[in-house]
Structure 1
Amino acid sequence: MTASTSPALGKKRAKKCNYCEATTNLHQHHIMPVLLGGTNDGFNLLTVCKAHHHMLHGIHERASHSNLTKIGLANAQERGIVLGNRVNLKEAGRKGAAAVKAKADGFASRIAGPIRLLRGTGMTYTAIADNLNQLGVPTANKGAWRGDTVSKVLQRSLQVPQVYLH
């Protein structure tokens, strides 16, 4: 189902709020929530702006959505779905931390060489960061470089065992 058509009616949905005729920030409100047996057809959907969507859910939208989430989770449990990870949580955490560390170590070992060369020319960490940003080189987390990021990458690279190929 697309945002512009209703499969049940086969016609375009309203492009403005049914209450105030706003044309931006529109939501499709289920008159009867799907969790309670409502459908996604045009007879159960109402086009409303964000403000009126909040009004329809009551003053505290979170409370209404919270209740619907609780109902959905309870229904899932009744169907036998186990919620959460109750087994090996500490081990999974350790493995996750090890994977993050390995990724960071690998990135640091790859980028540290060029950073050391620039640092050897007398460039400051901030100047190196500016240079990397201008070249479009992303950080390990796909962000922008800062002076302290450059410094931390160099520190990390010193802690990673270096492998030399002959």
Structure 2
Amino acid sequence: MRLSIENTREEFMRLRGQFLEQLPKSCQNCGREDDLHIHHIVPLALGGRNVLSNLATLCGECHGKVHGLKIRESHGKAVKEGRIKAARPGKWGAGKVPYGYDVDRFGEMVINEEEAQIIRLMYKWRYIDNLTWPQITEILREMAIPTKTNGEWSNATLHRIFNNPLYRGEYYLQGEFIGYLDNPILDKTLIDAEDEYKRKYTQPNGKLYVFRCKSLKFGHKAEGGGKRGMGERALA
């Protein structure tokens, strides 16, 4: 284990020049521009890696606070504020990369066109063809299309996709709006269809109407439906 850690540190020293060019030129916590250090968010000794998503620029004072007595509080604040300050549309912050995108070695989001085509189909099925989530899930399974992690589709997976503003070109990081992407996955037709669908089926309390689906087969009608009543296509 010791050899592995030492090798990782040696790797960091070899790559340090590249990291300095790509990381922000000011402290990602306080904005200071002198006495800058490269901080590993997850320490090398705990399995952290020498990748941009695990690195942050901190000044000597902030770096010292991170490794001081209040390490948890300082670390969390420094990392969150640092990522938000350094973020810009198209630059992936951290966490699981969403379906439809990949991240290149420079930390830039790039569209995975094969997955993006599936995203567009899903939005068409949902907001133009009015298919239900179970119907969409069934189609994806019958087409043998895997998820990002090569798993099976579920309502939870669809929920993440249909509630991710990134596909519309709106980039958020930890709840903070950063800006708009130049080239979103969804085109104007699909964005307008989603907006119209939600306008039409949103209740006064802000929630969408939910209908029970009688069958998963394409084209079957809703079993029940609150205000919309019998005979209309299932919506959720």
TM over 0.5: no
Report the TM-score when normalising by structure 2: 0.29
Structure with greater strand share of residues: 2
Report the TM-score when normalising by structure 1: 0.39
Structure of larger gyration radius = 1
Structure with greater helix share of residues: 1
